[in-house]
Amino acid sequence: MDYGLAFTYLPNSSKNWISKAAMGVVFALCIPILGLGSIALAGWGIAIARHVIHGDEDVLPEWSELGPIIIDGLKFAVLLFIWFLPLWILTAINAFIDQGFVNILISCCTFLYGLPFSILLLGAFGSLASDQSYAEALNPMNAYKVVSANWATTIITFLVAAVGYFAAALVGTILCGIGILIGIPYGISLMGHLYGQLYRESQGPAKAAVA
């Protein structure tokens, strides 16, 4: 894993990276509109991971390929909905119950369910980017194979991605919110690169290239 490369990927990926990042800002502005911005940005992150998996980490995906990007984003959105449906149900139940012990119990169950699946998302991201069948990508066991190949690397990658996104949000706060819009495409490129590296390392370069 080359964590430094992931942090410098966006500005070093192509000559017109600024215009591509600007498009990411545009889609970040569209996030409140039915989540369309989130879907597009997730698809862009998957496209970045796909480039890394196939050894083209110096290439930043073109927004002109918006159709495939949206499709990838929708696939990820559906995967999130299916995987975290029990979490949504528990949260809804917790909101309608006003009994301390039961609320604490549900909160514990929510945490115990949500944290492992949040880590599994790292593997799912790579599975979607590797062009295997969607049914395989939906299977949590396939994501588990990716993240369990090296637990230390997975946990470090998870923390590095989280800290990177937090740092972008912090900069955005300092810059009165403007930095958040700039930080979103940067954070997506960071995560896409890291998750692509994680998948490639877990599978081996040769196997990942033909996945």
Does residue 186 register a pLDDT over 70?
Answer: yes
Look at residue 169 in the predicted model and tell me its pLDDT. 62
What's the CA angle centered on 149, arms 119 and 42, to 5 degrees? 40
* pLDDT one-digit tens code per residue, 153-183: 999 999 999 888 777 667 655 665 555 566 7
Does residue 137 register a pLDDT over 50?
Answer: yes
* pLDDT one-digit tens code per residue, 112-122: 888 888 999 99
Helix (H, G, I), strand (E, B), or coil: what is residue 20?
helix
Confidence band, pLDDT 50/70/90 cuts, at residue 104: confident
Residue 205: closest CA among 55, 45, 82: 55
Does residue 32 register a pLDDT over 80?
Answer: no
Confidence band, pLDDT 50/70/90 cuts, at residue 206: very low
Q: For residues 203 and 198, give the distance between their C-alpha atoms in angstroms, rounded to a whole number.
A: 9
Q: For residues 96 and 91, give the distance between their C-alpha atoms in angstroms, rounded to a whole number.
A: 9
Look at residue 121 in the predicted model and tell me its pLDDT. 92
Confidence band, pLDDT 50/70/90 cuts, at residue 9: confident
